[in-house]
Amino acid sequence: MLDTLHTLEVVRRRGFVSRWVLGAVLVAVVGWLACTVAASPNLEWTVVGQYFFSTPVVAGVGVTLVLTFATLGIGLVLGACLAMMMQSRNPVLSAAASGYVWFFRGVPLVVQIVFWFNLSLLFPTVGFTPTNQLITPFLAALLGLGLHEAAYLAEIIRGGFLAVPRGQVDAALTIGMTRSVATRMIVLPQSIRVILPALGNQFILILKGTSLVSVIGGGDLMTRAQQIYGQNYQVIALLLVATGWYLVLVTVAGVGQRFLERWAVS
Amino acid sequence: MVGGLRIRGIRKSFGDLEVLRGVDLDVAPGEVVCVIGPSGSGKSTLLRCVNHLEPVDAGFVQVDDVLVGYEHRDGRLYESAERDIARSRRRMGMVFQQFNLFSHLTAVRNVTLGPVRVLGRDAGEAEREARELLARVGLAAHADKLPAQLSGGQQQRVAIARAMAMKPSVMLFDEPTSALDPELVGEVLMVMRDLASQGMTMVVVTHEIAFAHEVADTVVFMDDGVVVESGPAAQVLLSPRSERTAAFLAHVRRPRKEHDHA
């Protein structure tokens, strides 16, 4: 028997039964939930369809995107500066950067947004301009989001710096670079590979975090949804409109992240 | 004394541990000095102190009669501004045990980065010279590869070209073959032998006794943070005056008698 054994077909264990059972249970539970919600007489699907591509909602999506990218831009530039300051041998610089991160990471985002919006209560004028004229809801939103995000991105970038082997800096110094040039030319580019996955995650957090600016009427997707359901009382329908858009944007961001990571590795 | 190195009374402690306890060393222009000694004897720290990667606690280093990392004022040595330290480091090239090539740049970019970014040289001209240097170390065909695509021996040869591109007065080698597979040691030593024969001033921390015997003008034996013995290579290696040198040499020679003379 042993001399024919090697001719037999090999069948790998698949565990089909447990997969089918588990899958069926999952489909049943999720399907039942979805049907219950969808079939609810209080949910007007026509309203969802009516508003999904309406002018105010699409404009809100635009504002959400602008806020997201502007926040990312501010956060990256400021965060990179903060990360370099934290690495500095100058104790004043590193303490200042650590203090910034401690404060802006410690105060809730919504508190910061409301604070910037109400800056005029603290400083009625900036120079000769009334603060209320200067700080629009959009600018208050941008300040709140950008300064808050810089603190998180600073920590992510610092983590990336730490992942670059010390010898790289030694080598840069021995060819006559100063520490700060070495950080920009050698450490920063090499840390991108480590930073990128965390950055993609952070981008999605920012994207959804922009919805908090609705508390000051920032004009984003969530603000528009609130304004509409404030008039027609179709709260759930408009929350579904917002949900749909956020999921679309997050999905696109997730695909973009995969592409970026593949590019960075190659 | 252009191309010469003068080390005087270097002391360096890490916490309570005194790694260098007063090291003096003179290297004449064109001289090749090999520093040997057991691990932990302070050889690598000495090299890192020479180009001020580690600030010293006492003593000084001069290259081309210029103080490295310090300025002499009012009877004291004041540490220089970072820009000036960087400027004086350019007089020395350094090659590391772990190569430390910039991993995100191709071989040729590794070599041109210093000349272009630090010396402000024209990029095209720097690239032409870099390719020449890479050809000299036998890597003309590998100039556009990333470090990860090169073997250890090839990476170390790129690292030597990178250091040479800055046209240093002195080259410092910190155990340049210790991290290499045995069959790749020869190609790196050959490049170093080539440099030595062209009159480059070199300080080589190494465990390659055969290389030291063949190439070095002077061999320095360090132990426990001091120079125990220094002299002509043949004398130190064949008839050491100190018992500690003799014991060390007996120890390193025993396990590999037939040494690669490549």
Phi-psi region of A62 (alpha: psi -120 to 50; beta: other; left: phi over 0): alpha
Task: Find residues 189-228 of chain B whose CB sits inside 8 Å of chain A.
Answer: none
Reading the block at residue A198, the tokens are: 């965390």
Q: Give B52's Cβ-side CA count (13 Å radius).
A: 28
Q: Are strands B226-232 and B218-223 parallel, antiparallel or unpaired?
A: antiparallel
Q: Report the distance separating Cα B85 and Cα B83, nearest Å.
A: 6
Given a cut of 50, the residues of chain B with pLDDT beneath it are 257-262
Asked if A174 and B93 come within 8 Å (Cβ–Cβ), the reply is yes
For B93-124, b/e burial (b = at least 16 CB within 10 A) is bbbbbbbbbbbbbbbbbbbbbbbbbbeebeee
DSSP B207: S
Asked if B101 and A171 come within 8 Å (Cβ–Cβ), the reply is yes
Please report the pLDDT score of residue B262 as a whole number.
42
Closest by alpha carbon to A31, among A19, A23, A43?
A23
A43 DSSP β-pair partners: none
Q: Report the distance separating Cα B223 and Cα B207, nearest Å.
A: 14
Question: Which candidate from A171, A176, A186 shows the least CB-CB separation from B86?
Answer: A176
For A136-170, b/e burial (b = at least 16 CB within 10 A) is ebbebbbbbbbbbbbbbbbbbbbebbeebeeebbb
Neighbours of B259 (CB within 10 A): 15
Nearest-5° Cα angle at A222, A218 to A226: 95
CA dihedral A72, A78, A79, A81 (to 10 degrees): 150
Chain A: residue whose CA lies nearest to B113: A175
Alpha helices by DSSP H, listed for chain B, are: 43-50, 82-89, 107-113, 123-136, 152-164, 182-197, 209-215, 233-238, 243-253
Please report the pLDDT score of residue B256 as a whole number.
52
* Interface size, chain A vs chain B, as Cβ–Cβ contacts under 8 Å: 64
Please report the pLDDT score of residue B255 as a whole number.
55
DSSP A65: H
Reading the block at residue A47, the tokens are: 């309203």
Please report the pLDDT score of residue A12 as a whole number.
83
Are B144 and B154 spatial neighbours (Cβ–Cβ below 8 Å)?
no
Chain B: residue whose CA lies nearest to A166: B100
B170 interface with A at CB cutoff 8 Å: no
Per-residue confidence in pLDDT tens, chain A, 266 aa: 678 888 888 888 777 888 889 999 999 999 999 998 888 887 788 888 899 999 999 999 999 999 999 999 999 999 999 999 998 889 999 999 999 999 999 999 999 999 999 988 888 888 888 888 888 889 999 999 999 999 999 999 999 999 999 999 999 999 999 988 999 899 999 999 889 989 999 999 999 999 999 999 888 999 999 999 999 988 999 999 999 999 999 999 999 999 988 887 66
Task: Mention every residue, 6+ apart, whose C-beta is less than 8 A from residue A103.
Answer: A151
Can you say whether the dihedral through the CA atoms of A221, A226, A229, A233 is positive or negative? positive
Please report the pLDDT score of residue B257 as a whole number.
46
The predicted-structure confidence for A191-249, as pLDDT tens digits, reads as follows: 998 899 899 999 999 999 999 999 998 889 999 999 999 999 889 999 999 999 999 99
The values of phi and psi at residue B34, to 5°, are -105, 130
Are A57 and A224 spatial neighbours (Cβ–Cβ below 8 Å)?
yes
Reading the block at residue B100, the tokens are: 């430390």
Q: Which helix (H) or strand (E) holds B13?
A: strand B5-14
The letter for the amino acid at A78 is L
How far lies A251's CA from each of A129, A237, B78, B200, in Å? 42, 21, 58, 60
Task: Find residues 151-210 of chain A whose CB sits inside 8 Å of chain B.
Answer: 165, 167-168, 170-179, 181, 185-186, 189-190
Q: Report the distance separating Cα A172 and Cα B104, nearest Å.
A: 13
Are B23 and B3 spatial neighbours (Cβ–Cβ below 8 Å)?
no
Q: Report the distance separating Cα A31 and Cα A40, nearest Å.
A: 14
Reading the block at residue B161, the tokens are: 């070209």
- Chain A residues close to B102, C-beta within 8 Å: 168, 171-172, 186, 190
Q: Which helix (H) or strand (E) holds A140?
A: helix A137-162
Q: Report the distance separating Cα A16 and Cα A107, nearest Å.
A: 50
Q: Which helix (H) or strand (E) holds A30?
A: helix A16-39
Chain B: residue whose CA lies nearest to A180: B82
Q: Can you say how many angstroms the Cα of residue A227 is from the centroid of all Cα atoms in its chain?
A: 24
A106 three-state secondary structure: helix
